[in-house]
Amino acid sequence: MAEQDNEDRTEQPSEKRLREAREKGDVPRSRDLSGAVVVLAGVATLISGGHGAMAHVRRIYGLGLDYGRDALFSDELPVRVLSLAMREALLLLTPVALATVLAALAAPVLLGGLNFSAEALQPKFERLDPVEGLGRIFAMRGLVELGKSLLKLVLIGAVLVLVMKNWQTELMGTGRGDVASGTVRAMTLLGRGALLFGTVLALIGGADALYQKYDHTKRLRMTRQELKDEAKESDGNPELKGRIRQLQFQMARKRMMQELPKADVVVTNPSHFAVALRYDEGRMGAPRVIAKGVDELALQIRLVAGSHRIPTVEAPPLARALYATTQLDREIPASLYVAVAQVLAYVFQLKQATARGEEPPKAPQPEIDPDLMGPYQF
């Protein structure tokens, strides 16, 4: 059943799943990468302070070789030499220790980022179960960790063998000659060996970091059903969303009908489409659509317009173009300026003719580019 479940987990983890895992402290970590960073930080500090380190090493060597006859028979000599040697060793190793501590704290940020989880600090007593412990050891992840450890042992061992073989003459030469030159050669070989060792660890750590990131993503993979359930949970109940959309539509429709009496003209299809326009030259850059609808809503717009004596102009192509191109409470596009200007001019002339008792002018029929009607051109 577990294998079947893993086979079904083919989808990449969602942001929500990654965030929840991070809150639990489950982030990709690589002990090999952290160890490599710590070693390289210590080596870099040791090499950068080579002259100072060399001086401390010389003093430590000198403490064991420089003493007179009186000091040799003194009871205080061992204590004095030991205290001075410990002081020099402390001065030598303190910068290295600080660098390695800082590197150990900063190394995890390279892969998993800075993360603190209180949940990860809580004790988990199920980990004390010996049966589950054996299962973890012999699981695929345990076998992979065992293989990585053996590979590291082989690589590091091979490097050490090559170092001992190629540097054998130089290592033996550190015991010849004076103390100063021997110390310099020993410290140089130590620094080169540590740098080579850190480089090997860095290569291993880089490969392990890639694997840990892949393994972390693989463990958090989801099934398609889990993705659907999560999307449903995040987006909410579809029935509730539908109800909210219905209420929003009703409120928008109510506001639209309240604004309709302010319209200057209603352009109709004549029966299927109705679009109400308003134009305030001092406040608007272009005429604005304040109401629009099709079929039943178009009929209501025409009825409200009739009750408020708002002029209605039958211009089917223009009505369909206005409905297709302009959202509610938005100004009309520049491509319809001329056509709407003809309609507004007709409305102005109609009001003047009515006031004077003259015969009403002929309603315009503006030419409209069929592409502006979108899906409503037929």
pLDDT tens digits for 239-276?
A: 667 777 788 778 878 888 888 888 999 999 878 899 99
Tell me the average pLDDT across 191-196.
Answer: 79
Q: Is the pLDDT of residue 161 over 50?
A: yes
Q: Are 287 and 332 in contact (CB under 8 A)?
A: yes
Residue bearing tokens 């890639």: 210
Residue 29: which residues within 8 A CB-CB, separation 6 or more? Answer: 108, 111, 112, 212
Tell me the average pLDDT across 301-326.
Answer: 90
Average pLDDT, the chain: 79
Q: Are 318 and 267 in contact (CB under 8 A)?
A: yes
C-alpha torsion angle, residues 340, 342, 345, 351 (rounded to 10):
-90
Q: 67: which DSSP letter?
A: -
Residues 203 and 211: their CA atoms lie apart, in Å, by 13
Q: Between β-strands 330-331 and 273-278, what pairing exists: parallel, antiparallel or unpaired? A: unpaired
Q: Residue 2 has what pLDDT?
A: 46
Q: Are 27 and 115 in contact (CB under 8 A)?
A: yes
Q: Are 267 and 315 in contact (CB under 8 A)?
A: yes
Q: For residues 63 and 14, which has the higher predicted lDDT (pLDDT)?
A: 14
Q: Residue 275 has what pLDDT?
A: 93
Q: What domains sit in the chain, N to C, each tagged with a CATH number? A: 27-111+129-219 (no CATH), 250-376 (3.40.1690.10)
State the pLDDT confidence band at 68, using cuts at 50, 70 and 90.
low
Residue bearing tokens 């005429």: 287
State the pLDDT confidence band at 4, using cuts at 50, 70 and 90.
very low
Size (the chain), residues: 378
Residue bearing tokens 């004596």: 309
Residues 186 and 115: their CA atoms lie apart, in Å, by 42
Of 121-130, 251-260, 269-278, 338-347, the one with minimum mean pLDDT is: 121-130
State the pLDDT confidence band at 216, using cuts at 50, 70 and 90.
confident
Q: Between β-strands 265-268 and 312-314, what pairing exists: parallel, antiparallel or unpaired? A: parallel
Can you give the pTM of this predicted structure? 0.48
Supply the Cα-derived Rg of the chain in whole angstroms: 42
Of 16-20, 146-150, 241-245, 336-340, the one with minimum mean pLDDT is: 241-245
Q: Residue 190 has what pLDDT?
A: 75
